[in-house]
Chains A and B, each alone.
Chain A
Amino acid sequence: MASDLLSVSIDFETSHLYFPTLVHWILGILFAVILLTRVVPFMAAVRRGERTLPIIGESRDNKRFFGTFALIIAYFYLMDVVGNLFPYTGYGFLFVSMAFVLLMSLLYLHKWTRKTLVIVAVNAVVAPALVWFVLAKLFTITLP
């Protein structure tokens, strides 16, 4: 009977795994198909030198790329640490954001002139302060 084939009973205790298992199967099948139809021909092309591997084989502005990474990680981490010294005042966000905005602007700035540096510095102080004042003070949103 078709109805027997289609009937299921889901045990509540393991029901959190039912759908993920289904998704795993679909993912696995799709991945196999992609592996065969896309990745294998692509790797062959790489070997023949017609194409390059993504990321590894590409040129990149290492200073700015990894600099961005490092800055963001430091930003997120220090915000929490500094914020912990002044619980729930938002100072962690305020001070660390100023430093972050300044450094990231300098990192991305190609030509350092007096004028651009002043703009960058003013922006780094004013923007976080404004955001902090409006959100943390006026709207009492919790900030790190």
Chain B
Amino acid sequence: MRRLAALRALAGVPGLRVVNLGYPSREMYHAADAPENFYMLGSMGLASSIGIGVALGVRERVVAIDGDGSVLMNLGTFATFARYAPPNLILVVLDNGVHGSTGDQPTATSSGARLDRIAAGAGVRRVRVVRDPRALLRAATGRGPAVVVARIEPGNADVPVVPLDGPTLRDRFRARAASRRRVPRPTAPRGRSR
């Protein structure tokens, strides 16, 4: 599956989306722009963290769309994901084995690093590996919290950069999220206290 096909499938999941920087945001903007999409234009590595922060503050489903190179910069995120486990959050890692936005330099998943096992080892209970858009859509609409590793082919669609500025992207996403806020409450980590 190409990244564009994966993103088109994820655009069909009702809810809010956090989209990783570089070509994932460019392709999503091109294929299925919506105010429910928060496009990252910087801060590589933080798609999952932004997704956790949003998911803890809203009721509806949040799909955070990360990449293998990006999530390898922030592996602690799997531990945080497992610990706070927002039930409305699906973390999708589009794994093409390369840094696709900077010239296809190989990442560690191309030489054997298994993100599904890293997530499971960090304590994530629901981990799926998918290889086609239909299975991806099913996993992303299924029960959360879940980590979904989607194996995709390298390669980018020929689409321009997202033309919107930061505050514009913030405002339209926040307005969409505002109607779905939940009342703040103390959040305790799962499991035993130390």
Indicate whether A and B interact: no
A-contacting residues of B (Cβ < 8 Å)? Answer: none
B-contacting residues of A (Cβ < 8 Å)? Answer: none
